[in-house]
Amino acid sequence: MCQDLDDEPRWLIGLISDSGMRLAEAAGLTKDDVVLNDKFPHINLRPHPWRQLKTQSSARIVPLVGVSLWAAQRAVAVSTNAFLFPKYCDEQECKANSASAALNKWMSPRVPKGCVVHSFRHSLRDRLRAIECPRDIVDRLGGWTVDGIGEAYGNGYPIHVLHKWMEAIA
């Protein structure tokens, strides 16, 4: 459905649907955050002055697969400035609330009752559980806080491992 309309709001929906990003995380991206010319396309999710991240765990590498890869490719190709979604973000602020209202309004007649844009995050977690993805990888992919002091050691999972699990649900 998003690919048929092929516009900025649908790219934003597509990006979050297969990536697990929060809406504000995605809406506040720049083209420099997106790495498409890599064996494993991904987003380097990091804080910016116009959009902070919710938790320390939110800063992460987000593999791009399926519809999220298509959406990132389209947004990078079409955006005329540094921001991936200039309709919802500029140097001053990220308008995640405006994006949420607009996207939920568009989605409302097209999705089951009670389903909202944030539901994509819940769905991603369920999709990863369904393929028996290890919980610590699920937490890393979604930017959820990870349990245990040992989780703070090392560099985390290499991108090819994260990509493998995301590709399995795309």
Residue-level pLDDT at 137? 93
Q: What CATH code is carried by the domain that includes residue 112?
A: 1.10.443.10
| Alpha carbon of residue 94 to chain centroid | 15
What is the residue range of 157's domain? Answer: 2-169
pLDDT tens-place values along the chain, 170 residues long: 555 667 888 899 999 999 999 999 999 999 999 999 999 999 999 999 999 998 888 999 999 999 999 999 999 999 999 999 999 998 999 999 999 998 878 877 777 787 767 788 888 999 999 999 999 999 999 988 776 555 566 678 999 999 999 999 98
Helix runs in 18-61, H state only: 23-27
Q: What pLDDT is stored for residue 107 in this prediction?
A: 76
Whether residue 95 contacts residue 102, with contact meaning beta carbons closer than 8 Å, is answered with no
For residue 67, give both structure tokens. 């519809």
Q: How many structural domains are present in the chain?
A: 1
